[in-house]
Amino acid sequence: MTKRRIRLNLEYLGTRYAGWQWQDNAVSIQQVVEEALGKITSLKSRVTASGRTDAGVHALSQPAHADVETRMSDGEMVKAMNALLPDDVVVKEVVTVADDWSARFSAKEKTYIYTILNRERPSVFEHGRVWHIKKALDIDVMRDAARALVGEHDFTSFRSAGCAAKNPVRTITKLNIDRDDDTIELTFTGSGFLKQMVRNIVGTLVEAGRGKIEPDDVSTILGERDRTKAGPCAPPDGLCLVDVVYEDN
């Protein structure tokens, strides 16, 4: 059998999982994907994703790569893996790629959507997939506050204390806030994001929408480069990785 590299496109609900990365005492997305892959190939494969989603975070499109030894075609691998995976993790596609293609390092742009349910009553069907906020949010104020975050900045104020990235400078190319009835969606597109950066930004923009901070305060918070100056970290439930762009797209 010939060894080859494959690109997987994964979709998952992160509610039951301890994030993407393997954990000693909890089940992760990476674990269930590698275990399923290991049952259909003769090579124990490490599956590398475009990024490590945190516990409770979802993905509509999470690219990953792995080196495999199997006689199965790409399409046959999709069917075989989905027969083995739990219902909340799905392989949408498998494509054979160049041996040096990397889901992580070949990525050029990522898009996340954070969803807020903004009404008095919660939703049974959206439970675990939105941040339920009862008090009405002023999205015009949130939009004003968000403008300071677009572009290239040092996002130290919006990364988690445990973030290991050496360079805190990132570029947000798009930050849109849209409302449809009771649902608010914040769409983030950028070259990459620091650990919990999106959720910390969402928590800060919600503080603006609640009237607890002024829109101009966000620019000040950004310049402080101090995590304690920003708002709380939004819960993981509402966050979903929706797209990753590569040069070969």
Collapse the DSSP code of 216 into the 3-class scheme (helix H, G, I; strand E, B; otherwise coil) and give the result.
helix
- Give the pLDDT confidence score for residue 167 in this predicted structure: 87
Closest CA to 8 of 19, 18, 17, 20: 20
- Give the pLDDT confidence score for residue 247 in this predicted structure: 81
Q: How many domains does the chain have?
A: 2
Residue 81 lies in a domain: yes
Residues 153-205: tens digit of each pLDDT: 999 999 988 777 788 999 999 999 999 999 999 999 999 999 999 999 999 99
Looking at residue 103, the DSSP 8-state letter turns out to be: T
- Give the pLDDT confidence score for residue 54 in this predicted structure: 94
Residues 217-246: tens digit of each pLDDT: 999 999 999 999 999 999 999 999 999 999
Whether residues 226 and 111 share a domain: the answer is yes
Whether residues 76 and 156 share a domain: the answer is no
Residues 20-37: tens digit of each pLDDT: 999 999 999 999 999 999
Whether residues 121 and 82 share a domain: the answer is no
Residue 125 lies in a domain: yes
Whether residues 153 and 214 share a domain: the answer is yes
Of 24, 54, 144, 180, which residue is the catalytic one?
A: 54
> How many C-beta atoms lie closer than 10 Å to residue 233's C-beta?
19
Tell me the residue range of the domain where 78 lies. Answer: 3-97
Closest CA to 93 of 65, 55, 126, 114: 65
Residue 150 lies in a domain: yes
Q: Is 54 known to be catalytic?
A: yes
Beta bridge partners of 94: 8
Whether residue 248 has pLDDT greater than 60: yes
- Give the pLDDT confidence score for residue 42 in this predicted structure: 76
Residue 102 lies in a domain: no
- Give the pLDDT confidence score for residue 131 in this predicted structure: 98
Lowest mean pLDDT across 47-51, 106-110, 245-249: 245-249
Task: Tell the burial category of 161 from Cβ atoms under 10 Å away from its Cβ (0-12, 13-18, 19+).
Answer: exposed
Whether residues 231 and 209 share a domain: the answer is yes
Collapse the DSSP code of 47 into the 3-class scheme (helix H, G, I; strand E, B; otherwise coil) and give the result.
coil
Whether residue 46 has pLDDT greater than 90: yes
Both ends of the chain: CA-CA distance in Å?
A: 29
At 215, which CATH number?
3.30.70.660
Residues 82-116: tens digit of each pLDDT: 999 999 999 999 999 999 999 999 999 999 999 99
At 53, which CATH number?
3.30.70.580
Whether residues 9 and 84 share a domain: the answer is yes
Residue 209 lies in a domain: yes
pTM of the model: 0.95
Which among 76, 97, 118 is the end of a domain?
Answer: 97
Q: Is 234 left (phi over 0), alpha (psi -120 to 50) or beta?
A: beta
Whether residues 127 and 203 share a domain: the answer is yes
Whether residues 78 and 161 share a domain: the answer is no
- Give the pLDDT confidence score for residue 249 in this predicted structure: 56
Q: Is 171 left (phi over 0), alpha (psi -120 to 50) or beta?
A: beta
